[in-house]
Structure 1
Amino acid sequence: MPIKVMIIDDSAVVRKLLSDVLSSDEEIEVIASAANPLLAIRKLEEGALPDVLTLDVEMPEMDGITFLEQVLPRYQIPVIMFSSLTEKGAEITIDAMRKGAFDFVAKPKTGLFTAMDYLKEELVPKIKAAYQMKGRKHFFTPGYYLSQISESSQSFSRITSKVVFIGSSTGGIQALESVITKLPKDFPSVLIVQHMPPKFTKNFADRLNGISKMRIKEAENGEKIQKGWVYIAPGDFHMELKDKTTLYIHQNEKVNRHRPSVDPLFYSAAKFYGKEGVGVILTGMGSDGAQGMKAMSDTGAFTIAQDEKTCVVFGMPKEAIKLGGVSKTLPIQKIADELIKAV
């Protein structure tokens, strides 16, 4: 049985483009499309029930957030946001991810044929990954990850030279919130690579900063890492360490099809911190970060992988575990407390 998809977008051109791209894959069938969320809800009520929805972020009649709040609890269909690379698009998309959207794909700004290739590479795999969410009802509850956040029972007061390195992808926005918001304000430096395009990482850092005790910012080239700060790699840039205290932000070739990629960060952690590094790999598609985490583990670093039950996609953690680079596997709710113990 093919994966049934409904496309929701106010542009007829975009609906046709998405339909052509998705229909070219024999495992996917586009069963319906709608020019706005109200029409989509009507089609759902009439029985056009897809396995996965694609949803334009900015539309007339009803905004994407309201649609998610109405549809997810009732139908429990994975939703992939289709977002413009704008400040407003980033803000709405980050909010949608926090409200239960499965993932997002940035709208291409290129010509037709390049756009089709881009969507085959970016959207199709996410459609197939989203399909695997069927039956995992708790993930479709708006605020599910936020409900896992509780005040840590631990404080941090000891002197340490350790630094924490985190990699995440699909589902990472919610997972990172559940970890970072539990860390005390005087916690050691945390460096994060989350697969995101430009503008999205700045928006995410600002939002996370508003609900956390630590201070969170988008990383800048050459800045010195400090205790009490979280640094998030900027979209379309790799983040590594130049030495033990200096960040190196650059646009070298993509690694594992990603920029930023988790592996360069983890490899530099292994090089400069060895057993003083602490690595964490969270939910995400593919294998990015697995080799780098193995390198960290080989130098004596303590490493943590998010468990399958609480992952949106158990890809990156699974590959790290398979390589033997993981010291401990934990549900997302327990990772913050484990980090406080580990550093």
Structure 2
Amino acid sequence: MIEDSDLKEIKPKPATCAASPEHVISGLPIPKVMRIRTFSPDDWEDFIEEWSTSLSGAYLKVRRFGGSGDLGVDIAGFTSKTGFQDVWDNYQCKRYDHPLRPSDIWVELGKIIYYSYKEEYLPPRQHYFVASQGIGTTLEQLLNKPDTLKAKMRENWEKHCENEITSTEEIPLTGALEAYFDAFDFSIFTSKSHVELIEGHSTTGYHAVRFGGGLPPRPDPGKPPTTPEDSESRYIRQLLDAYGDQLGTAMNDIVALEANVPIKRDFLRQRERFYHAESLRNFARDTVPEGTFAALQDEVWHGVIDICEGHHQDGFERMRTTLTQAAALSFTANPLSSVTKKQDCQGICHQLANDDRLTWVPDDG
């Protein structure tokens, strides 16, 4: 019979972190390592594609291979233009419902050994195993003991490699291939942990969108260079035309600004705004997926174009009214919204003018 003393009061454990409004909306955050383990096949493929971009700084070229004719190559990082005939690394990415086991990799090792023996490529400098559920303890221990790994590989060749490397022929470990096997350096086989994957992925523009947590701090945009860059020529020309349209006199270059102190101050402000937007463009390149900043530019364009193309007494007034409208815009859907300032929106107008998507003094006046 159950006694009252057998029953315990229900007391959930205290939260391990301070509650926040975000927790009320979306629940407690899932650690990134655990999130990787729950990826669907499509999410895993997308994650690997995103993570692969983090490798570009270490190699001259990074390429993804696939299909039945991949010869054991998944993601290859090449150090020179000669590709497989020079130093290269291989990243073998696997998605299973369990941590990677020795039985999962014998045929992969066999492919690298056999196809390098056949001179399809030089053996990779390093061959990394990457797995959605991580690397099992038994396999990790083997990868840390190359001699033991080689001995186990020999034991498993007939079962896992002889008829599995290719469907067109049997490949027994005998003769010249066996001699090549004996001389092969098994220390090239290693692994990448989930922590290392996350660290690499965090350097890409996909990380914040994939895992959340917000964008990193945005650097100070700094001051514009004293002498305008060639890349500024078109929007500066448009500024000079706008000033000249109000003053009723042509302004051929920025030297003409020296005669009008208020106009020169305005010119300096507009350049600061342009460089604010350029700094946001650079920040976006490193922190959010490609196309995010262009989408923000499009939002600004749609937010100001009707004002810009309305009736104005001169080009300067058209520009000022357009910039005022840009500063009033609010963004909620774009991933950059949390770090976008009013100066950025105004500077984007000058970027659009630089591309002739906005015009301060239309040809028809």
Class of the TM-score when normalised by the shorter of the 2 chains: under 0.3
What TM-score do you get using the length of structure 1 for normalisation?
Answer: 0.24
The structure with the largest alpha-carbon Rg is 2
| TM-score (normalised: structure 2) | 0.23
